[in-house]
Amino acid sequence: MPEVIVRKGEPVDRALKRLKNKLEAEGILEEVRRLRAFETPSQKTRRKARANAKRGRTRFRFNP
């Protein structure tokens, strides 16, 4: 579970933004949104295809 320590004198909203960034980087927010409601098989296929395409783009970009 991501953890953010609020630094002395740091605004809480900035610490909250850092926490959101960590949650997004680990994919936790996306998983929570996905599990919130039923996902039809076509939505599941579409989501997996988008994830594979994104993974392919990053592989191509960083391993030419």
pLDDT digits (tens, 9 = 90+) for 27-42: 898 889 889 999 899 9
Structural domain boundaries in the chain = 12-62
Structure-derived torsion over alpha carbons of residues 1, 55, 33, 19, reported in degrees to the nearest 10: 40
Q: Inform me whether the pLDDT recorded for 62 exceeds 80.
A: no
Residue 64's pLDDT band, with cuts at 50, 70 and 90, is low
Residue 19 vs residue 60, higher pLDDT: 19
Of residues 17 and 59, more confidently modeled: 17
Residue 18 has pLDDT above 90, yes or no: yes
